[in-house]
């Protein structure tokens, strides 16, 4: 795992214009900051430019507030919006889950060993089944049952947890409920869902049995931001696993679980490391 203890992250975007890379790199040089990683992309169809830079200050006493104020003055010429992230930042998150525990278990393990730079503030579920798992990790567990009639009240409880916990990201780790339009709007750009297939395909109940009946040769998973179109939010990452005629539905389920875990964890890591830019209905992803 890469050592990011002294790496700052500057993520920015603006209209495509001559000098967009230069305004970032020149300012960092003048500020005595050494670039350790850089990615950029110019979307010629939309005329939008994206850049992500990791750097380490070479001078003692790096002043983040002064850096941002001075860079903002330079960036204004390019209508550039940006975000500066300090080394060691751990994004506060809330995880939502139903009964399936594989994605939650995987996230908790990666969190416990320090692989994911997150701080899990709470776990929310519409079932009580995973309360002991949360308790073992010392994480508050909120059981909010839901019915079609109580959905508005239940989502109000969920939103209260998100607000009071200070969560900047909500992870739907196999939360088997459709969020309302209001909730999707509140969580726009900061809620990641894992879907049990390569979207679009095999939607609805028993997806692996549908796949088995069709004789598929791949199972997959899709991690995406939620929006008001069911399972059609901007895609962050996808994963696949080969299967064959010798794999039965239970084998597809087992392989699918593994792909879901890896795909969701990768999407979370990309998001918290500021490697994902929302771009209309798509994403720009600067992978590691």
Calculate what percentage of the chain has a pLDDT beyond 90: 80
| Tokens of residue 106, six digits | 């995987």
183-204 mean pLDDT:
84
- Between CA 3 and CA 119 the distance in angstroms is 18
Task: Summarize pLDDT for 86-102 with one digit per residue, the tens.
Answer: 999 999 999 999 999 99
**Residue indicated by tokens 């790096």:** 62
Per-position DSSP letters for 175-217, written without gaps between them = --SPPPHHHHHHTTTSEEEEESSSSSSS-SS-HHHHHHHHT-S
Q: Of residues 43, 231, 251, 258, which has the active-site annotation?
A: 231
Question: Could you give the CA distance from residue 249 to residue 265 in angstroms, rounded to a whole number?
Answer: 24
* Cβ–Cβ < 8 Å for 272, 9: no
> Tokens in use for 145?
């049952």
Domain extents in the chain: 8-85, 91-285
Q: Note the pTM of the prediction, 2 decimals.
A: 0.91
* DSSP bridge partners of 241: 219
Contact between 223 and 240 (Cβ < 8 Å): no
Separation of alpha carbons 67 and 130, rounded Å:
45
* Cβ neighbours, 10 Å, residue 15: 12
Tokens of 213: 């009946």
* Whether 231 is catalytic: yes
- Fold match flag (8-85 vs 91-285): no
pLDDT, tens digit (0-9, with 9 covering 90-100), for 44-88:
989 999 999 999 999 888 999 999 999 999 999 999 999 999 999
249-272 vs 102-112: helix crossing angle, rounded to 10: 40
Closest CA to 269 of 257, 284, 285: 285
| CA–CA gap between residue 260 and residue 191 (Å, rounded) | 16
How many whole angstroms separate alpha carbon 226 and alpha carbon 236? 11
First and final CA of the chain: distance in angstroms?
A: 11
Coil vs helix vs strand at 27: helix
Reported CATH class of domain 91-285: alpha beta
How much is the pLDDT for 1? 45
pLDDT band at 197 (very low <50, low <70, confident <90, very high): confident
Confidence of residue 163 (pLDDT cuts 50, 70, 90): very high
Topology (CATH) of 8-85: Alpha-Beta Plaits (3.30.70)
């Amino acid at each position: 795992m890469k050592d990011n203890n002294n790496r700052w992250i500057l993520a920015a975007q603006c209209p495509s214009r001559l000098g967009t890379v230069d305004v970032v790199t020149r300012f960092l040089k003048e500020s005595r900051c050494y670039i350790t990683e850089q990615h950029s992309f110019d979307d010629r169809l939309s005329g939008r430019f994206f850049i992500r830079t990791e750097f380490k200050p070479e001078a003692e006493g790096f002043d983040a507030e002064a850096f941002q104020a001075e860079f903002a003055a330079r960036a204004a010429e390019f209508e550039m919006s940006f975000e500066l992230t300090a080394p060691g930042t751990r994004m506060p998150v809330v995880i939502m889950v139903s009964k399936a525990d594989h994605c939650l278990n995987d996230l908790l393990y990666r969190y416990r060993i320090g692989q994911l730079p997150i701080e899990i503030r709470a776990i929310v579920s519409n079932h009580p089944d995973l309360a002991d798992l949360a308790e073992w990790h010392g994480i508050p567990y909120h059981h909010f049952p839901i019915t079609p009639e109580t959905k508005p009240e239940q989502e109000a409880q969920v939103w209260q947890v998100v607000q009071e916990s200070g969560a900047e990201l909500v992870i739907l780790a196999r939360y088997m409920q459709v969020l309302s339009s209001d909730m999707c709007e509140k969580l726009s750009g900061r809620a990641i869902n894992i879907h049990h297939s390569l979207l679009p395909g095999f939607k609805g109940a028993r997806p692996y049995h549908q796949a088995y009946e069709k004789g598929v040769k791949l199972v997959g998973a899709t991690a995406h931001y939620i929006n008001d179109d069911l399972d059609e939010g901007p895609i962050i990452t996808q994963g696949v696993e080969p299967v064959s005629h010798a794999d039965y539905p239970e084998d597809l389920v087992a392989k699918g679980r593994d792909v879901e875990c890896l795909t969701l964890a990768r999407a979370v890591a990309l998001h918290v490391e500021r490697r994902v830019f929302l771009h209309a209905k798509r994403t720009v992803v600067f992978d590691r």
